[in-house]
Structure 1
Amino acid sequence: MTRVLLLGGTTEAGRMARALADAGVDAVYSYAGRTEAPVAQPLPVRVGGFGGVAGLVAYLRAEGISHVIDATHPFAAQMSRNAVEGCAAAGVALIALEREPWQAGEGDRWTHVPDLAGAVAALGEAPRWVFLAIGRQNLSAFAGAPQHHYLLRLVDPPTDPLPLPRAEAVIARGPFDVAGDRALLKDHRIEVIVAKNAGGAGAEAKLVAARELGLPVVLIDRPLVPERRVARTLGEVMAWLDG
Structure 2
Amino acid sequence: MHVLILGGTTEARRLAELLAAERSPGLRVTNSLAGRVAAPRLPPGEVRVGGFGGADGLAAWLRAHTVDALVDATHPFAGTISLNAARAAATAHVPLLALRRPGWVPVEGDVWHEVGSLEEAAALLPALGRRVFLTTGRMGLAAFAGLDDLWFLVRSVDAPEAPHPARMEVLLDRGPFSLAGERQVLSGHRIDVVVTKDSGGAATAPKLTAAREAGLPVVVVRRPPVPDGVPVAAGPAQAVRWIRELRERAAYQRGG
Confirm or deny a common fold (TM above 0.5): yes
Cα RMSD between the aligned structures?
1.3
- Counterpart of 1:83 (choices 82, 85, 105) is 85
- Counterpart of 1:231 (choices 230, 233, 250) is 233
| Residue type at the aligned position of 2:199 | A
Task: Name the SS of the counterpart of 2:152 in structure 1.
Answer: strand
Extract unaligned runs of 5+ from structure 2. 246-256
Specify the structure having the higher radius of gyration (Cα).
2
Task: Name the SS of the counterpart of 1:152 in structure 2.
Answer: strand
String of CA shifts for 1:155-211, please: whole Å, max 9, x gaps.
0234x4562110000111101111101100100000000100111111101101101
Structure 1 191/44 Cα, relative in aligned 2: closer, same or farther at 3 Å?
A: same
Give the whole-Å Cα distance in 1 for the aligned partners of 2:217 and 2:40.
32
| Residue type at the aligned position of 1:86 | A
Q: TM-score w.r.t. structure 2 length?
A: 0.91
| Alpha-carbon shift at residue 146 of structure 1 (Å) | 2.1
Give the whole-Å Cα distance in 2 for the aligned partners of 1:31 and 1:14.
11
Residue 6 of structure 2: aligned partner: 7
Residue 113 of structure 1: aligned partner: 115
| Alpha-carbon shift at residue 17 of structure 1 (Å) | 1.1
Residue 248 of structure 2: aligned partner: none
Q: TM-score w.r.t. structure 1 length?
A: 0.96
Structure 1 126/69 Cα, relative in aligned 2: closer, same or farther at 3 Å?
A: closer
| Alpha-carbon shift at residue 226 of structure 1 (Å) | 1.5
Give the whole-Å Cα distance in 2 for the aligned partners of 1:126 and 1:103.
21
Residue 176 of structure 2: aligned partner: 175
Say whether residues 1:66 and 2:68 are aligned partners: yes
String of CA shifts for 1:71-125, please: whole Å, max 9, x gaps.
1100001001111111011000110111111000011000001111110111126
Give the whole-Å Cα distance in 1 for the aligned partners of 2:5 and 2:129.
43
Query: Where in structure 1 do 4 or more consecutive aligned residues deviate above 6 Å?
Result: none
Q: Map 1:136-215 onto structure 2 (within 5 A).
A: 136-158=138-160, 160-161=161-162, 163-215=164-216
Task: Name the SS of the counterpart of 1:157 in structure 2.
Answer: coil
Extract unaligned runs of 5+ from structure 1. none
Number of equivalenced pairs: 241
